[in-house]
Amino acid sequence: MPYKVLISDSLSKEAVEILQKEKEFSVDVNTKLTPEQLKDTIKNYDALVVRSSTKVTKDIISAADRLKIVGRAGVGLDNVDVAAASKKGVIVVNTPAGNTISTAEHAFTMMLALSRNIPQADLSMKKGEWERKKFMGHELYGKVLGIVGLGRIGTEMAKRALAFGMKVLAYDPYLSMERAKELGIEPAELEALFRNADYITVHTPLTDQTNHLISDKQLEMMKKGVRLINCARGGIIDEAALVKAIEAGKVAGAALDVYEEEPPKKESPLLKTDKVVLTPHLGASTEEAQTNVAIEVANTVRDALLTGCVRNAINIPCLDPEVCKVIDPYLKLAEKMGSMQAQLVEGHIKKVKIRYVGDILKYDLSPFTLSIIKGMLTPILQETVNFVNSMVIAKERGITIVETKTADVQDFANLIIVEVETDKMKSSITGTLFTKVDPRIVKIDESYVDAVPEGYMLVASNKDVPGIIGQIGTILGKAGVNIAGMSFGRESKGGKAVSILNIDSSVSKDVLDQIRKAPNIYGIKLIKV
């Protein structure tokens, strides 16, 4: 029986032909299915290929008895329930590299248009005007470009900027000095980048950490006359703060392809100033990019079904139900530990040392290591990192990964220890499973704890004195934040201690600052796992 493939969104002719020419495949293209029709139809298919229109919901996945893989032609996965797919044993793949050049070229084009007033001059000419003095521009040569996020697109921006004779500063939590030297750029802390760049372009996903990454405070510390470019995600730049800074003369101009609300409302101030260059989310809108992502997903789905070789997998479900049942809790623990470390440490990650202890050694440990590294990279890189490319991305950033094993059981039958070294500090987290399914963090640095890695967590470094939890709880209570659980540990009586609180919701920066300023608190971090 041939593999049945359903393409439910429009793909390029070249991509469809890749699948149709395989004699082992039966390919149907139906781009007009309603959700109910898809739910009734999907039970007959081994693979589903989508763009962004089709919503691959939990109900649809539950009805997919034969489904082995969902291929998304694009990066974002808002339209695919990855958790439901993983539980069902369905592989989900995307195409994180397909629109790299397209987006980088668009961002660079926006920077040039902003510098030379191209849209405004074009509009003036079409009105029959000839106003050369009005549109005096600025050269890129010799200017400082600050790049926030040095992934694929940020790296391509850096290459183009260097070719134009610009100096490039880059901020990326995973960027090593060695990698920076290799690219010919200078790594910088975020504040230093803001203070020294003439142009700033952002290339990060939108997360809790990057939402309004550039707002009033950051704009205030920038150079007078700075210019900003955002072709990444709407919301990274606070639009209201940007408009105020432009009106005040602090910011000379901005070029935006993405917005906090898409499309922007007609009354948006962004639409009423000639100091902002705007395009309607065109970063990936080139014929080449659309063809590339379609071809990439077609090749990925084909190879996964025919050879078992999976590229760009967002999840790596274990298709053997018995093995999956045993190792899945470890994979979740490993990914959560990596995520925690990424959010707890400060500085650029240089080295990750992973130690496995006890009975866990009887399993293939490579999926656990992949889970840790994926978890560590995801808070910053989001959907651009997956189980397949995580090790490659870590290597590109100059991160050394060392894996060691010991069968000598210590305090627990199984332990995973993740030690991270940055250019500023060293940190260690130890995790295990209780009752073989419940993940626990049992040690942070030298302090033994019993913490559940779930949801929002506050991790405080404090002096071991009475009243710490009381003062934190009072601040949270006034802010309407409920504490769901807590754990404490200390290195020695009266010495350095750690307090971990599970909370029901996120907290504002103001609340974190209040806790940070409380007596005997050394530091506080809000993390989400």
Do the two domains 3-98+289-315 and 100-278 of this chain adopt the same fold? yes
Residue type, 116: R
**pLDDT (0 to 100) of residue 409:** 62
Number of H helices, E strands in the chain: 17, 22
Residue type, 519: P
Q: CATH classification of 454-529, choosing from 2.40.30.10, 2.30.110.10, 3.30.300.20, 3.30.70.260?
A: 3.30.70.260
Per-residue tens of pLDDT for the chain, all 529 residues:
789 999 999 999 999 999 999 999 999 999 999 999 999 999 999 999 999 899 999 999 999 989 999 999 988 788 999 888 887 878 999 998 888 999 999 999 999 999 999 999 999 999 999 999 999 999 999 999 999 999 889 999 999 999 999 999 999 988 888 889 999 999 999 999 999 999 999 999 888 889 999 999 999 999 999 999 999 999 999 999 999 999 999 999 999 999 999 999 999 999 999 999 999 999 989 999 999 999 999 999 999 899 877 888 888 755 455 666 778 889 899 999 999 999 999 988 999 999 999 888 888 788 899 999 999 999 888 877 877 678 878 888 889 999 998 877 667 878 999 999 998 999 999 999 988 889 999 999 999 999 999 999 999 999 999 999 999 999 999 999 999 999 999 988 989 999 999 999 999 999 999 999 999 999 999 999 9
For residue 72, indicate whether it is catalytic. no
* Tokens, residue 250: 């602090």
**pLDDT (0 to 100) of residue 98:** 84
**pLDDT (0 to 100) of residue 360:** 86
Q: What is the pTM of this model?
A: 0.74
Residue type, 469: I
Report, at the CATH architecture level, how domain 318-445 is classified.
2-Layer Sandwich (3.30)
For residue 106, indicate whether it is catalytic. no
| Residue 471 near residue 518, CB atoms below 8 Å | yes
**pLDDT (0 to 100) of residue 437:** 85
For residue 281, indicate whether it is catalytic. yes
* β-sheet bridge partners, residue 71: 49, 93
Q: Read out DSSP for 108-123?
A: HHHHHHHHHTHHHHHH
Tell me the domain boundaries of the chain. Answer: 3-98+289-315, 100-278, 318-445, 454-529
Of residues 72, 152, 179, 233, which has the active-site annotation? Answer: 233
CA distances from 314 to 70, 223, 384, 423 (A): 10, 40, 9, 30
DSSP state of 481: P
**pLDDT (0 to 100) of residue 338:** 96
What is the end-to-end Cα distance of the chain in Å, rounded? 42
What CATH number does the domain located at 3-98+289-315 have? Answer: 3.40.50.720
Q: Counting Cβ atoms within 10 Å, is residue 86 exposed (0-12), middle (13-18) or buried (19+)?
A: buried
Backbone φ, ψ for residue 58 (5° rounding): -60, -40
| Residue 419 near residue 352, CB atoms below 8 Å | yes
Length of the chain in terms of residues written: 529
* Exposure string over 480-490, b if 16+ CB within 10 A, otherwise e: ebeeeebbbbb
Residue type, 49: V
Q: Which fold has domain 100-278?
A: Rossmann fold (3.40.50)
**Sheet strands side by side (includes 521-528):** 483-490, 496-503, 456-463, 521-528
